[in-house]
């Protein structure tokens, strides 16, 4: 549940956007999340950590498709709204099922790195490292050239962060997990 659900399943595929407003679609995803969390609890899960949706309006692919060099505020608002729904659902699960829950704020980490790249050691935040960095992602990067120093790029391809950005998120996740789940 998250970025792919919105970008691919809502904005690209015509079915979901014909059925739901974007807010309703977020509620639909949260409802499914709630059901799966209850099933996990029934199987013995007592701790649950969720990584929030990234600011997908800042992805190079979205900027390319929208014809802009700036982050798309509408898409980022959708991501932020959905993250608030996730956090509210985690509180509800804690209350109703007694689960210990944690939330990893990937949204603000990536947004901060986009807005203040040198703070994180990045030089390039507007395009990915593989190919042109503007629309290739996943398997479409196969056989294409890559940048000389991927450590300086926030994005590996037009959608996915680099290993370095994932490490920043992972470090934050570990700190959050220790604080919220094991204290």
pLDDT of 127 reads: 95
Interatomic CA distance for residues 102 and 147, integer angstroms: 35
Q: Which distant-in-sequence residues (6+ apart) come within 8 Å of 88 by Cβ?
A: none
Query: What count of other Cβ atoms lies within 10 Å of the Cβ of residue 146?
Result: 15
Per-residue pLDDT 10s for the chain (183 aa) are 789 999 999 999 989 999 999 999 999 999 999 999 999 999 999 999 999 999 999 999 999 999 999 999 999 999 999 999 999 999 999 999 999 999 999 999 999 999 999 999 999 999 999 999 999 988 888 989 999 999 999 999 999 999 999 999 999 999 888 877 776
Say what the pTM is: 0.92
Interatomic CA distance for residues 12 and 180, integer angstroms: 36
Q: Which distant-in-sequence residues (6+ apart) come within 8 Å of 58 by Cβ?
A: 71, 72, 76, 110, 111, 114, 125
What domains, with CATH codes, occur in the chain? 3-181 (3.40.50.1110)
């Amino acid at each position: 549940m998250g970025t792919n659900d919105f970008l691919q399943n809502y904005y690209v595929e015509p079915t979901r956007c014909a059925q739901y407003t974007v807010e309703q679609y977020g509620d639909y995803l949260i409802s499914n999340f709630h059901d799966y969390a209850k099933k996990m609890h029934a199987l013995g899960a007592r701790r649950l950590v969720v990584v929030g949706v990234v600011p997908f309006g800042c992805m190079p692919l979205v900027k390319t498709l929208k014809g802009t060099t700036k982050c798309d505020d509408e898409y980022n608002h959708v991501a932020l709204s959905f993250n608030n729904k996730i956090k509210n659902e985690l509180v509800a699960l804690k209350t109703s099922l007694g689960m210990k829950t944690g939330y990893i704020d990937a949204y603000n980490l990536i947004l901060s790195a986009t807005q203040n790249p040198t703070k994180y050691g990045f030089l390039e935040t507007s395009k990915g490292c593989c190919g042109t960095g503007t629309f290739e992602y996943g398997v479409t990067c196969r056989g294409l050239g890559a940048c000389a120093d991927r450590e300086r790029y926030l994005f590996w391809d037009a959608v996915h962060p680099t290993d370095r950005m994932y490490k920043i998120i992972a470090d934050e996740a570990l700190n959050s997990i220790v604080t919220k789940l094991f204290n």
